[in-house]
Copies of this chain bind each other. A is one copy, B any other.
Amino acid sequence: MIKKYRFGNPIPTDSVVIDIAPETAPITIFEADETAKRLRYNLDKKDVVYGLGETIRGINKRGWIYDSWNSDDPNHSEDKHSLYASQNFLIIASCNEGATNKKPIGIYVDDPGRVTFDIGYTDIDVFDIIFEDFDADVYVIEGESVLDIVKQFRHIIGKSYIPPKWAFGFGQCRWSYMTADEIREVVREYKKAGIPLDSVYLDIDYMYRYKDFTIDEAAFPDFENFVKEMKDEGIHLVPIIDAGVKVEDGYDIYEEGMEKDYFCKKENGEVLTAAVWPGRSHFPDFLNDDARKWFGDKYKILLDMGIEGFWNDMNEPAIFYTTDHLAEVFDKIDSYKGKNLDIQSFFEFKGTVASIDNNIEDYKRFYHDYKGQKIRHDKVHNIFGYNMTRAAGEAFERICPDKRILMFSRSSYIGAHRYGGVWCGDNLSWWSHILLNLQQMPGLNMSGFVFSGADVGGFGADATEDLVMRWTQLAIFLPLFRNHSAMGTRRQEYYRFKDIQGFKNLVDLRYALIPYIYDTFMNAVENDAMYAMPLSFIYENDERAWNVYDQLFIGDSIMIAPVYTQNAEGRYVYLPEDMKMIRFRSTEDYDEEVLEKGDHYIQTGLNEVAIFIRKGHKLPLAQPAMRIADIDEKTIKEISYLA
């Protein structure tokens, strides 16, 4: 049962697609305090709080404070409050075993501005939702189970995006492959290694001077033919699209946007000049229907060249600086010259420069023309990236309605899940980020983002072979499976390491698993179900299962428990029932063992990946192929654990 409570005058977000009349009675379950602009829920000792999308920390969000404020922050440490997305859906639940038959509660806070979720941070027993402006639609969902609440919620937000099937293949990325030849080399090396590959991603340097919808012709001569050459090899090129449009006379998109008045403006009516990769840029007003349509139509430039997939980036939006703020910074810096900079003034000076980018004040400097109203950006900040993804999604629907186009975004808000997937942004080559990747998946699925994953091996910082190996052992089970790393970091294409055969075995296993992965994915989309979920979603009465935060069920049949610590030769796994373990070294070389319900230490060497099949379930395994399209369903064999 879903009830909608309206507070103040909410700005519509189009995240919910089913019309629900607001309640006339005051909110129950949560206690509203209009003065404090707050909703409060008193947590029981055993309450677990799920959700909040791709945020940091654990599957259980209890014990931290989160800000819904889409942020370009590449340092995903556990003390952060915001990442790239705002997915304000949560479920409060607890194990039913021996309990008062307490039912779970879902809550969706539909507010495009800043919202703070203090989930037992200030007081370990209190869950507060604090609004910057108390203008929001709040949906409270009661249900029989966590999965029931997920289903109800997903029903009202509309069906999740489905990518083309090749997008479930392995993709290789780097910031950046600088030339067509570099990409040819990547494809050649993967082929030589016998490692399946379906896509290579183009990061910002394929563009000419970072201008959206342009190609650097010197580095990528005759791009259209190059796209075709790759497609003939079975490789899809997936270019990045950024939110900022370079200010440059003669650049058609800039000139058109100016002419049609589609860029975001300051209060005085001047177009805002903010800098991103190309330096000075303007932001298309994705919230404006006409501007959104205009920008969306630009994807056709690349579609016409044979491109079939894109990733949208920098759409929080990231702002290196605004020209207005930068001028203020330079003035401020001048004032420090010649002084004895001590603890206060030195760190103030450093802070002035360190806080130039993504500065909160800059988000108050510009406006949107949204549904007929002029709205200051910070009030709708969290739906900016969503509307960029929507620009693309709506355009694809217009341009090629019968074709699935790959689309995923860095920034998002619920609603965007109908137009694309997400990746978890600029993570790091940290062991703890393998676990973070695992822990982000349930929250994403709950809020409709089923096609999702994180950069395998970590984007920033230097990877090690064993880290990439262990991370891959998780990622082969997730919908979006992409290896990506940043400029200046150690190269981490699989063929660059020593144990190439070990990596091949893992990617082969991914391709063998495709029938299961694709079915599970399609089921999750079509039935508003979970793709990846914690044990407690299934074993509602098992107290031990509720305390397991580093294992996942992928669909209903198999459980994974990846190793995420360095130098480990195995890990502990909790089995919520008797299960059959399959310990793969490759699709051909594995051992099977039925293990009893309970706790186990499972030996898994660096080359081994263990999965667990439920009783009465089976795992189909296809013969691996070098491309998704070449997987032959007729080769499927089944590993089953008969009841």
Interface positions of A (Cβ within 8 A of B): 48, 57-58, 60, 62-64, 75, 77-79, 120-121, 123-125, 204, 210, 275, 277-280, 320-321, 326, 330, 333, 336-337, 340-343, 345-346, 349-350, 353-354, 356-357, 428-432, 460-462, 464-467, 498, 544, 547, 549, 565-570, 572, 574, 599-601
Determine whether the beta carbon of B572 is less than 8 Å from that of A64: no
Determine whether the beta carbon of B48 is less than 8 Å from that of A567: yes
Q: Which residues of B sit under 8 angstroms from A60, Cβ to Cβ?
A: 566-567
Determine whether the beta carbon of B464 is less than 8 Å from that of A124: yes
Identify 6 residue pairs between A and B in the complex whose beta-carbon atoms are under 8 Å apart, listed by A's number. A63-B566, A64-B566, A77-B430, A320-B346, A350-B353, A544-B601
Q: Which residues of B sit under 8 angstroms from A79, Cβ to Cβ?
A: 428-430, 460-462
CB < 8 Å: which of B278, B342, B354 contacts A210?
Answer: B342
Bound CA span A124–B470, Å: 14
In angstroms, how far is the closest chain B Cβ from the Cβ of A120?
8
CB < 8 Å: which of B341, B498, B566, B570 contacts A321?
Answer: B341
CB < 8 Å: which of B57, B277, B547, B565 contacts A343?
Answer: B277
Determine whether the beta carbon of A58 is less than 8 Å from that of B279: no
Determine whether the beta carbon of A549 is less than 8 Å from that of B572: no
Q: Which residues of B sit under 8 angstroms from A428, Cβ to Cβ?
A: 77, 79
Bound CA span A125–B346, Å: 45
Determine whether the beta carbon of A547 is less than 8 Å from that of B566: no
Determine whether the beta carbon of A340 is less than 8 Å from that of B566: no
Determine whether the beta carbon of A64 is less than 8 Å from that of B547: no
Determine whether the beta carbon of A342 is less than 8 Å from that of B572: no
Q: A59: nearest residue on chain B (CB-CB)?
A: B567
Q: A58-B567, A321-B346, A547-B568 are in contact. Are A124 and B466 (CB under 8 A)?
A: yes
Q: Which residues of B sit under 8 angstroms from A568, Cβ to Cβ?
A: 547, 549
CB < 8 Å: which of B342, B354, B567 contacts A278?
Answer: B342
Determine whether the beta carbon of A340 is less than 8 Å from that of B279: yes
Q: Quick one: which of A326, A574, A600 has the most chain B CB within 10 A? A: A326
4 cross-chain pairs, A with B, having the tightest CB-CB distances, nearest first: A279-B342, A79-B461, A279-B340, A353-B353
Determine whether the beta carbon of B346 is less than 8 Å from that of A275: yes
Q: Which residues of B sit under 8 angstroms from A549, Cβ to Cβ?
A: 565, 567-568
Q: A63-B464, A432-B432 are in contact. Are A320 and B341 (CB under 8 A)?
A: yes
In angstroms, how far is the closest chain B Cβ from the Cβ of A2?
28
Q: Which residues of B sit under 8 angstroms from A64, Cβ to Cβ?
A: 464, 566
CB < 8 Å: which of B337, B430, B498 contacts A78?
Answer: B430
Q: Which residues of B sit under 8 angstroms from A58, Cβ to Cβ?
A: 565-567
CB < 8 Å: which of B77, B326, B569 contacts A341?
Answer: B326
Determine whether the beta carbon of A342 is less than 8 Å from that of B498: no
Determine whether the beta carbon of B277 is less than 8 Å from that of A342: yes
Determine whether the beta carbon of B121 is less than 8 Å from that of A464: yes
Q: A598: nearest residue on chain B (CB-CB)?
A: B601
Q: Which residues of B sit under 8 angstroms from A57, Cβ to Cβ?
A: 566
Bound CA span A337–B278, Å: 17
Determine whether the beta carbon of B210 is less than 8 Å from that of A343: yes
Bound CA span A341–B325, Å: 13
Q: Which residues of B sit under 8 angstroms from A62, Cβ to Cβ?
A: 566-567
Q: A61: nearest residue on chain B (CB-CB)?
A: B567
Determine whether the beta carbon of A350 is less than 8 Å from that of B356: yes
Q: Which residues of B sit under 8 angstroms from A357, Cβ to Cβ?
A: 350
Bound CA span A465–B77, Å: 19
Q: Which residues of B sit under 8 angstroms from A601, Cβ to Cβ?
A: 544, 572, 574, 599
Q: Quick one: which of A279, A280, A321, A549 has the most chain B CB within 10 A? A: A279
Q: Which residues of B sit under 8 angstroms from A121, Cβ to Cβ?
A: 462, 464
In angstroms, how far is the closest chain B Cβ from the Cβ of A313?
13
Q: A566-B57, A567-B58, A601-B599 are in contact. Are A78 and B432 (CB under 8 A)?
A: yes
Determine whether the beta carbon of A431 is less than 8 Å from that of B320: no
Q: Which residues of B sit under 8 angstroms from A343, Cβ to Cβ?
A: 204, 210, 277-279
Determine whether the beta carbon of B123 is less than 8 Å from that of A279: no
Q: A352: nearest residue on chain B (CB-CB)?
A: B353
CB < 8 Å: which of B204, B333, B547, B567 contacts A333?
Answer: B333
